[in-house]
Amino acid sequence: AALLASSIPKVQQSQRASNQFQPQASFKVAVLGAAGGIGQPLALLIKMSPLVSALHLYDIANVKGVAADLSHCNTPSQVLDFTGPLELANCLKGVDVVVIPAGVPRKPGMTRDDLFNINANIVKSLVEAVADNAPNAFIHIISNPVNSTVPIAAEVLKQKGVYDPKKLFGVTTLDVVRANTFVAQQKNLKLVDVDVPVIGGHAGITILPLLSKTRPSVTFTDEEVEQLTVRIQNAGTEVVEAKAGAGSATLSMAYAAARFVESSLRALDGDGEVYECSFVQSELTELPFFASRVELGKKGVEAVISADLHRLTEYEAKALEALKPELKASIEKGVAFVEKRA
């Protein structure tokens, strides 16, 4: 989980030991939308990972300079740039993890669903290329609205005959990162120890932090639960408003996405006990997709963790029921979008 803390010393270690034989994990990661507000800092953080041997950066514009710049960092991975649809296939061949932050971000007054019309098409065309060129890769969808873009990706992969539900992830890590930060601040806890599972989806009331399941165990007043839940749900909007038209969360998002990439790579590398929250195909509720903690392994989702949903507080149980109609509608909107174009 502690990407920055853990990766820098490992890189330095491997450089010191460069004349000894030391098997290095060597995964290839592609970022689609790599020249954007999220894409650039995310690419930088992935460049710091000792688990990555190749970093493929794709965008429709401005990616050459980003790659040239990053390629000067003396960390193991080789950085390659790819511009425009004609270079997309080559970008994707042989990659283990594809991260997709391509698309437009929110401006003040917009909901994530307002991005649907533009981003749905972008995600659809990018995932078609992933299906054709990297059908076994883990796919991390960041582009909003995640509640719809993940079902879109699933439908595209099904049409292409390569859908593996264990390898398709909606990135909700930022909700967990925010929940951990806000709870640690509020309760004066050591930040690194705090872990709050966040379930449901990734928009407004569909984001449901399970504060009663916070580790280490901590008690909240009813007022604290209400205030923290609403703050976590609206944290994205807090950033959109502060940026006043210049976009949405990019730096904290890149940090969160890099953590999810690092966890995926550790799982691919055979590490055990790798857990993250993610929006995945799920049987935890009656909804076909649902965010919860999942255990990651070499083949993707090893297990969807149901324990967090047991013994919910009354507040959480009510909020869970309240989010279902909105999440269901967003999922169905994504599915219908692909069916209409089939």
Residues marked active site are found at 202
Nearest-angstrom CA–CA distance, 331 and 61: 30
Decide if 289 contacts 281 (C-beta within 8 A).
yes
Give yes or no for residue 201 binding ligand NAI (CB under 6 A). no
In the numeric block, which tokens belong to residue 309? 């949903």
Shortest approach of ligand NAI to residue 6 CB, angstroms?
Answer: 22
- Output 95 or 102, the one with its CB closest to ligand NAI: 102
Q: Which of 7, 75, 83, 144 binds ligand NAI (CB under 6 A)?
A: 144
Give yes or no for residue 46 binding ligand NAI (CB under 6 A). no
Give yes or no for residue 342 binding ligand NAI (CB under 6 A). no
Place of tokens 């008690």: 219
End-to-end CA separation in angstroms for the chain: 40
Burial class of residue 11 in the structure, from the number of CB atoms within 10 Å of its CB (0-12 exposed, 13-18 middle, 19+ buried)? middle
Nearest-angstrom CA–CA distance, 133 and 89: 6
Q: Which of 30, 98, 115, 199 binds ligand NAI (CB under 6 A)?
A: 115
In the numeric block, which tokens belong to residue 316? 């959480």
Give yes or no for residue 151 binding ligand NAI (CB under 6 A). no
Shortest approach of ligand NAI to residue 175 CB, angstroms?
Answer: 7
Place of tokens 């595209």: 156
Give yes or no for residue 38 binding ligand NAI (CB under 6 A). yes
Nearest-angstrom CA–CA distance, 184 and 179: 8
The site that binds ligand NAI (CB under 6 A) totals a number of residues, namely: 32
Nearest-angstrom CA–CA distance, 277 and 196: 10
Burial class of residue 38 in the structure, from the number of CB atoms within 10 Å of its CB (0-12 exposed, 13-18 middle, 19+ buried)? buried
Burial 257-283 (b: 16+ CB within 10 A, else e): bbbbbbbbbbbbeeeeebbbbbbbbbe
Give yes or no for residue 44 binding ligand NAI (CB under 6 A). no
Give yes or no for residue 148 binding ligand NAI (CB under 6 A). no
Q: Which of 31, 33, 147, 308 binds ligand NAI (CB under 6 A)?
A: 33
Give yes or no for residue 45 binding ligand NAI (CB under 6 A). no
Nearest-angstrom CA–CA distance, 299 and 42: 24
Nearest-angstrom CA–CA distance, 185 and 60: 40
Nearest-angstrom CA–CA distance, 92 and 325: 36
Shortest approach of ligand NAI to residue 130 CB, angstroms?
Answer: 12
Shortest approach of ligand NAI to residue 33 CB, angstroms?
Answer: 3
- Output 233 or 250, the one with its CB closest to ligand NAI: 250
- Output 214 or 248, the one with its CB closest to ligand NAI: 248
* Span from 56-64, 264-272, 294-302, 330-338 in contact with ligand NAI (CB under 6 A): 56-64
- Output 48 or 122, the one with its CB closest to ligand NAI: 122
Give yes or no for residue 129 binding ligand NAI (CB under 6 A). no
Give yes or no for residue 41 binding ligand NAI (CB under 6 A). no
Binding site for ligand NAI (CB under 6 A): 32-33, 35-39, 59-61, 101-106, 115, 119, 122, 126, 142-144, 146, 171, 174, 202, 247-250, 253
